[in-house]
Every structure is written in C-alpha cells, then in structure tokens.
A and B are shown apart, each in its own frame.
Chain A
C-alpha cells in the first residue's frame, strides 16, 4: 500500500495550524474515523435530500470538505463534524438550486440523526464486515465475483486469472474495478445506522 500521497487538495500547504495533519495522517484519519460513519452519513443524506441520483455526489463532496478542513485542523470528534458538514452542504445546495419545489422541501432540522449519539464501535464493525462482505460477494455478477474471489481469496495473480477465465488482463482489471466499487458501497454505505430505526 502506498502511503505517500504527499500534498493532497486544492490549497497550498502554507497555512497549517498546530493540529494540522500530513497527507498520510489525513488519509489514516479519514479511513479510521470518517469511513465508518458512512452508513450514518448516507442515512442522513437520503433522508434530507430528495434527489437520490445526487446522493453519491453529495457524499463525496462531504468527504472532500471534511478532509479539506481536517487537513488544517483535525476536528476533535469526527461524527458531529461530518454531519454538520453534510448539513451545511445541503443548505448550500438548497440555496443554489434553481428548481422550484412544488411540494414541501424536506426540513433539515426535523430529520436526521442525533449528533451526539456514539458512532459505531470498531469491533462491531469488524464482525459485521465479514458478514456483509460475504453477502455482497454473492450479489456480484458471476464473472466479477469470480475475479474477486480468485484475486482476493485464492490470491491468484492477474495473469493467471486472465488465463483461467479466457479473458484479457485488462478485462480482469475492469472486473476488479467493478468489484471494488460495489464492495465499498456494501461495506460502508449500507449498514443501518444504530438507532436509525431501520
């Protein structure tokens, strides 16, 4: 795994405060603190934004904003920070949208997840993950599943997989890419957040 991603983002490194993070710290923080909140974040976004086709965009924009901010100063608690960022983003979007909502706009304050409830426990996540991965694996299309299984469980090389399946290595890469995206969504985005009543 390459930890060296040096300077990430739109801004220069000139103005770092004391709590600033290096790129690799930022990445580690993001993976450790923010990604486990994805199910909660998605729940919040889905409940407060009516256009489902934009949810993925919104999620990535929240991540980008969170990381931009965290790079300068790492927030003490990730969860309220992520949700607050999401909320601000939705408010920005509502203001910018040139669409006339003909029925009621979702009320940002009436819905949502309690900001101070504890985030999911990492141990629970670990146990959950295997279960979720297994079920996600079963939902992959057969060929993608096969490539993922060969690569990840059997530990085969790409050339060997290509040969066995009678496809090119590029196609193997394509299937891997498809599998990665699908698994990431199942792994992070789909667990019902605790206390969400789902």
Chain B
C-alpha cells in the first residue's frame, strides 16, 4: 500500500471513531490495524494529532451566531450553479449543433511544433499546444469550445450566467471558475485541473457515468467506457504543463513514451526499435523541438546507438 492509501485508511478509521456507537469490537479492529504495521500507526497518529489540534478552531465560534447556518446558506449557491451549468451544457449539446441560429464559430489550429494563444473579449484565454484543433463560439450569451484533437490550457474568466463548456467527443467539461488543461488523443481524454473547479460529464446517455467535480491537482483520464481519477502533486502538474514554456519534462518516463512525446512536436520522428531499450526509464527536461539534444544524451549517457534514416531518428542498442 502506498502512503496515500494508508493515509486514506487512517482517515477512515479516525472518522469512524468519531461516531457515537463506536464500541470495543471496533476498537479491537482498529488496534489490530494499527499493530499490523508501524506505517499504519504513524499515519494514524499524525492525522489524530492534526484533528485534535483543530480544537483551536473553537475560538472562532461566536455566541448567538452559528457558523454552520452561515455555511449552510452559502452551500446552496454553488450547488445551484452547477445544476444550472449542467443544464445549460446539456441544452447546448442537445441542440447546439442543429439549432437554428449558429453564430460565429471560429476554428483555431496549430501545426506540429506550433503553439498559439487565443484571447477572448471576456478575459478568458486558451493556449493551444502542438497539432491541436479547436472550434470556439464565445459570445456574451454562450461560451462553447470543441476540442477536436490535441491539447489546450484553459484560463477561464468565470461567469456563472454564461458557463464555459468544453466539448471533447462525447464528454464535456464545465468551468466552475477555473484553470485547466485538456488533452485529447485518439481513444483517451485527459483533464487536469490546475485551479478552481470544473465538472466533467458525459453526453452519452448509454454510459452510466456520474458527473465528476474536479479539484486542483485532479487528473481525470477518460476512455470510451470509463473515467479514472488521479491526484497529482503540484510539481506533477507543472510537468504536465511544461509545454506552455516549450518544454517537455520526463520523470521516470520510458524511452518509448519520451519518444512518443517528442514526436508530438516534431516532424523528425524518433523510433525506438528495440523493446528492451524502449523500457529504459529516464529523467530530464528538454526543449520540445530539440530532438538532437535528446538523441545526443541517449547516446552519451545511455550508450545507445543513434542512426538517422529517412528523416527518422532510430535508437537502438
């Protein structure tokens, strides 16, 4: 079990212990879990200490004024908003394509190796990565973007009355005040949330998929049939977005994946022929267009053979 899983388990125990009907059998089960591994104990002790430190928060309580009541009032707003946004998005997807008026939809595209930033009048901004195609309909009454292929980083000026919806195949992302990045490959969609919140949903009624609210650090990976959620720490997110500065960052990346990443940006393709070589894991930061530096390092550091053939770079043992 990873530290994260252990911590999740420890938090469950701690939350469970908080209940009124906690009994000796429960306590025995908890003790058994704690004694199983000192990793379990330290995770539990740490959370327990933090939780008990939250006692200090009690000073925030003011007589005659219930914090809970205040929060409670506040809670309906975002909930209603997301419902409204979801309805708007559903309506948009349901009728948008065939509806009577079809105001200016503009197409933006980048070639291999290009990047482009689109700035909208409402203050929103979209950065297109290499080999990306996107259509946008952004006006004061509706804001919709179709990501047809590739990858883009969205910095959305939030407007609850005019939600920003990104459609990628049969999934769509609704902004709830957000910076996020979407990458669409042939059979796979990745949504990484950097700031704020966004909601990922499917428009395919045959897929029984719950709308998913993404929080900062979340990466949702959607295939045709499933969505999974990965939590990335800040540095991991920075790596995912290194392309915004014209860089790729490899972190325990297999040579095969590194080559595939370079190939997104360059016409000169890297081919890793040998399957054993392909598995070699590497670290490093490169300019997206500097295939030569990558090839040189593969040769000098990893001792691999580099060959140029028909405009490709062939890496072998």
Contacts and interface: CB of A to CB of B under 8 A. Distances in A.
A154 B56 contact: no
B203 interface: no
Interface in A24-54: 27, 30-31, 35, 50-53
Contacts, number: 195
Interface in B50-91: 50-61, 66-68, 71-72, 74-75, 78
B158 to A, nearest CB: 15
Contacts of B11: 176-178, 180-181
Given A133-B56, A180-B15, A142 B74 contact: yes
B283 interface: yes
A133 B54 contact: yes
A182 B177 CA distance: 21
B39 A60 contact: yes
Nearest to B48: A1
B311 interface: no
A30 B49 CA distance: 10
Interface stretch (A62-70, A73-81, A87-95, A110-118): A62-70
Contact of A60 (B15, B42, B67): B42
A32 to B, nearest CB: 9
Q: How large is the interface on B (under 10, 10 to 19, 20 to 34, 35 or more residues)?
A: 35 or more
B47 A184 contact: yes
A153 B35 contact: no
A180 B43 contact: no
A155 to B, nearest CB: 8
A129 B67 contact: no
A145 B78 CA distance: 13
Interface of B: 2-4, 6-8, 11-12, 14-20, 27, 30-31, 34-35, 37-39, 41-43, 45-61, 66-68, 71-72, 74-75, 78, 197, 215, 232-236, 250-252, 280-285, 297, 301-302
